[in-house]
Chain A
Amino acid sequence: MDSFDDSQKPVFEEAVSEVRENQATAVRSLEDSQNAPSTESADSFARVNRVTGAQSIKHGLRIGTIGLILPDEVPTEVQLTPTLCVLPGSPQWVRGVTTVRGIAAPIFRVDPFFDHYTYERGKRTTIVFQLGDSMAGFEIDEVPGRVTLSEDEKLNNFPPLPASIQPFARACYRNSEGLWLDWDIAGFFSAVADLSKHS
């Protein structure tokens, strides 16, 4: 598994700090929206809760022992065998660039960001997220699936998480399938982009 070297850590931590500020702003917005019941929340999970009642059905993706809830507001697409164009001089964890309906999307590996996670052997599948006008994605072992969560399963305190992921965790749930994170995917990709620029 590839990992960051010591020179890359300050860059990533800087990016994480920036994201944390954005996250704090988002949390404040969320609290404001929760205080105003008739107002639509920016939190996608809250929006689903209102629709389905006590339980909500989401799309989720498991990476090792951690499950990531895919935000409904971010258009997401799975590609089985994309054609990747390798970028010369890029870090080893950047796999290359593919095109999705004419839009170039960088693809990278996530094992450096998840402790003790290793990709399984065999063919790789790619998940691509549309963030505004741009797209980005990473390789996955398993395709996303349906996951049902309830407020009763929400954890008050976060369990120990990988350091690279913890800043982007907005909420944490534990059900029979394990741990699920409602994560800030835009912030995560922003930090990854900054990291790749300085690598």
Chain B
Amino acid sequence: MNIRTKIILGSALGALLSVAGVGYLVATIAEKSAAEALTESARNSLVSVRNEKKFAVEQLFSTITGQLKTYSNNSMIIEAMAEFNSAFNAIGQSSSSLDQTDTSSSPRDYRALQDYYNGPFSDQFKELNNGEDPGATAFFDRLEDKAKILQNLYIAENPNPLGAKEVLDAATDGSRYSQIHKRYHPFIRAFLQEFGYYDIFLVNNDGDLVYSVFKEIDYATNLTSGSFASSGLGNAFREAAPNSVAPDDVKIIDFDEYYPSYNGAAAFFSSPIYDGNRKLGVLIMQAPVDRLNDLMTSEQEWRDVGLGESGETYIVAGDNTLRNDSRFLIEDRAAYLEALRIAGEPNLTGITAKNTSIGLQGADTPGTKEALAGNAGFAIFPDYRNVPVLSAYTPIEVEGLNWALMAEIDEAEAFAPIATIRDTILKNTLLVALGTLLLVGLGAFFLIRSITKPLNKLTSTIGEVAKGDLTARAKLDSNDELEVLGNAFDGMLDDRIATMEEAAIQNKQLNESVVGLMTATAQLADRDLTVEVPVAEDVTGSVSDALNMMVEETSDVLSQINNVSKQVEDSVNLVQAQTNAVKGAADNEKVIVQNTIDQLEKVSLSINNIGELVQTVNNLASNVQSSSTTTADTVNKNIEGMDQIRETVSETEKRIKRLGERSQEIGNIVEIINTLSERTHVLALNASMQAASAGEAGKGFAVVADEVQRLSESSKESTLEISTLVDSIQLETSEAMATMNATIARVVEGTELAGQAGTQMTQTQSDATQLAEAIKRISTESAAQTEANATLMEQANTVLESTEKTSTALEQQSVQTSNLVTFAEKLRAAVSSFKLPA
């Protein structure tokens, strides 16, 4: 892997790690903060909905029990109970057609009633129960005689269709029972319609159901021995029947399937009827499941009450089944049933067949356990579909019932914004990483290009010189250390080539001098001592002079030569030996110097490489220092921004508080206006009544009084609306202040985290600065070492050159010394042969 690849990969990896680290930190903090805020928001919303529904349910039951308590003590009901009981017991005993009815009539007389059981009743039952056969014949066969008589009269012969039997005020048989029925039925029916009950029953002390409004097939049966003795209605009677039950006591029987109402869910409320201290019977009201269902399902307007796409409220009874329909059954039946199948709901078949959750859908979750144990709270757990939900649960405080109320919303919907935030941060982090990668890549490319280009030029120049082009030069102009290196290299080439040319000229001159010297020597070799040797200006000049002098002196000394030549020969031999010794030492020294130069060249190459690396690291350290400074500035700005946010939120909270105080003052003023309006209303009312008592004379004044009264009523309505608005403002103000306080706490926490990040960044910045300074010192030391090494190399080369010259000179000296011995021997022989001048 070359330097370029290493630098690019290193820079890219560093940038990616930095961006990824910052992105991960930001994403983690944002996700945590968002999750806490969303959980708190969902908790407040669900608790609010839960409390509202709890209040409404308890209010519903309180209203029903209050009405039952009042109605059971009503004089009309007391009289009705007594008279219905008397008439019921008299059936078959008096003179009217009904009263004369033979209670032993054959079944044939009740064919119309049997047709009703097997016809309209069975058809309606099948329609509402997915085709299930009600087995009505068995119930018909078990009917008591009086029940058959009354049901035949008020159900079978009732001209009104099924579902509208209550329209009949009385049968036309003229019996005492029908007279009593005609007297009381319109009032009890009006009460039922006014308050929306499913049915109202009067039961005597023997358990005979002597009266019901809707005349279903429980009408006139006996609740202690008849078919419905063990039903919810029978239980309601038994609960209220004992003499120990006080007149104001109300008993409640929880919702359960009720056969006469086509197996629909029904709850019963019962209270004894007393006439003074004498107990006459029991008044029972059948509660409408639709009203509770509409209340809990918010009339299927879940989104309008803040429950979003998956929120719902439902009631779970002590048997761990629902008391209202699941939202998911209503909105997406197929998906709901599939979820129950996966969750292993045991009553799936019943829910599918009857298309209702009431009394069938199981709900045994941690929340229902807590609420049924009497605890209210908030938690996250899988609901009855095994889907994780945020749940606010509470017990319902209705005497006689063990109910829990759950307000829940799917966790996926509540926390959906977190995924959006996370995706946005990851997307932005990816974009920043790609941008950083691109910038770092471009920077590294241009940096490396500025280094490799001069190096390539230097390499090509060396190649050309090696091929013999001595004019080739690098001529770098990169304005950096590489340019200095190139110029030194060019200078070195110039010096080397100049030295080589000078040596060539000197060799040529020396050759010419040697030729002249050789010519003269050849003449001398002919033993002509008269020859004169030409004298050159080079090193041979002195030899020529010496030859000339030697020729001149030779003659003089030849005579002496013979004497001393023997001594010379001996001395020369000694010199020869010493020369050889010196030459050997010079050769050893040359080898050592050459090795030293080789080592120095390797060291120089290593130092150069280190210098380049140090320079690169120095640049990277500068980049890191710059990046950490920028990041520290960003963190400091972030802290300043959060401080500003905290101040702004705090100021907003104060203003909202002042708004709440102002709204309180408005409420006081509205109260004064309301009092004035009330007094004006009464004043106008008195005027109106006075005008009315004045007859025709007061008509004009009555108009004025009416207008004043309308104005006062309008004023009262307006003040009521203002008062409601003020209450809403104060409530919203209180909630807004709570939210503001929570926001301030989070901003403070965020500021502390940002402050810690700023401290860490400052420490990182300081470390990066120290690192950059250390690298810079290494770079300086490395440059000095390179310079010292170059000087050492130069000196070593000088020593090498001197050693080579010494060796060469010693070789020449050795040769010449050898020649000198030979010459001396020849000289002695020759001298003897010379003919010397006289």
Which positions in A face B, CB cutoff 8 Å?
59, 70, 72-80, 115-116, 125, 143-144, 159-160, 162
Contacts and interface: CB of A to CB of B under 8 A. Distances in A.
Given A116-B73, A160-B75, A78 B692 contact: no
12 contacts: A72-B695, A74-B693, A75-B693, A76-B693, A77-B686, A77-B690, A78-B682, A80-B678, A80-B679, A144-B689, A159-B76, A160-B79
Contacts of B73: 116
Nearest to B678: A80
B681 interface: yes
A72 B696 CA distance: 11
A59 B691 CA distance: 11
A172 B340 CA distance: 59
Contacts of A74: 693
State the majority secondary structure of interface residues on B.
helix
B690 A75 contact: yes
A76 B685 CA distance: 10
Given A59-B689, A78-B689, 7 more contacts: A59-B685, A72-B692, A75-B689, A76-B689, A76-B693, A78-B685, A143-B685
Contacts of A116: 70, 73-74
Interface string B180-214: 00000001000000000000000000000000000
Given A59-B688, A115-B75, A116-B73, A143 B682 contact: yes
A77 B692 CA distance: 12
Contacts of B689: 59, 70, 75-78, 144
Contacts of A73: 693
B190 to A, nearest CB: 9
Contacts of B695: 72
Interface string B692-724: 110100000000000000000000000000000
Nearest to B675: A80
Contacts of B686: 76-78
Contacts of A70: 689
A59 B692 contact: yes
A144 B685 contact: yes
Interface in B762-815: none
A156 B745 CA distance: 73
A77 B76 CA distance: 33
B119 to A, nearest CB: 37
A133 B682 CA distance: 23
Contacts of B74: 115-116
A74 B694 CA distance: 10
B187 A159 contact: yes
A143 B75 contact: no
Nearest to A73: B693
A63 to B, nearest CB: 15
A75 B686 CA distance: 9
Interface string B63-91: 00000001001111001000000000000
Contacts of A77: 686, 689-690
A72 B75 contact: no
Contacts of B682: 78-80, 125, 143
Contacts of A80: 678-679, 682
Most central of B70, B74, B76, B682 by chain A CB within 10 Å: B682
A125 B73 CA distance: 28
A183 to B, nearest CB: 16
Contacts of B690: 75-77
A116 to B, nearest CB: 6
B332 to A, nearest CB: 41
- Going nearest first, the 5 A-B pairs with the smallest beta carbon separation are A160-B76, A72-B692, A76-B689, A75-B693, A77-B686
A80 B674 CA distance: 14
Contacts of A162: 75
Contacts of B692: 59, 72
A88 B679 CA distance: 31
B66 to A, nearest CB: 11
B715 to A, nearest CB: 15
B353 to A, nearest CB: 43
Nearest to B70: A116
A181 B688 CA distance: 20
Nearest to A76: B689
A160 B70 CA distance: 15
A57 to B, nearest CB: 9
Nearest to A116: B70
Contacts of B679: 80
Given A115-B75, A116-B70, A160-B79, A72 B685 contact: no
B697 to A, nearest CB: 12
A93 to B, nearest CB: 20
B681 to A, nearest CB: 7
Contacts of B681: 143
A70 B79 CA distance: 30
A115 B682 CA distance: 28
Contacts of B70: 116
Nearest to B691: A72
Nearest to B183: A157
B312 to A, nearest CB: 36
A144 B682 CA distance: 9
A41 B693 CA distance: 15
Nearest to A75: B693
A78 to B, nearest CB: 5
Contacts of A79: 682
B76 A72 contact: no
A28 to B, nearest CB: 24
A160 B693 CA distance: 30
Nearest to B679: A80
B772 to A, nearest CB: 83
B273 to A, nearest CB: 14
Contacts of B678: 80
Contacts of B187: 159-160
A198 B568 CA distance: 188
Contacts of A115: 74-75
A125 B683 CA distance: 13
Contacts of A159: 76, 187
A144 B688 CA distance: 11
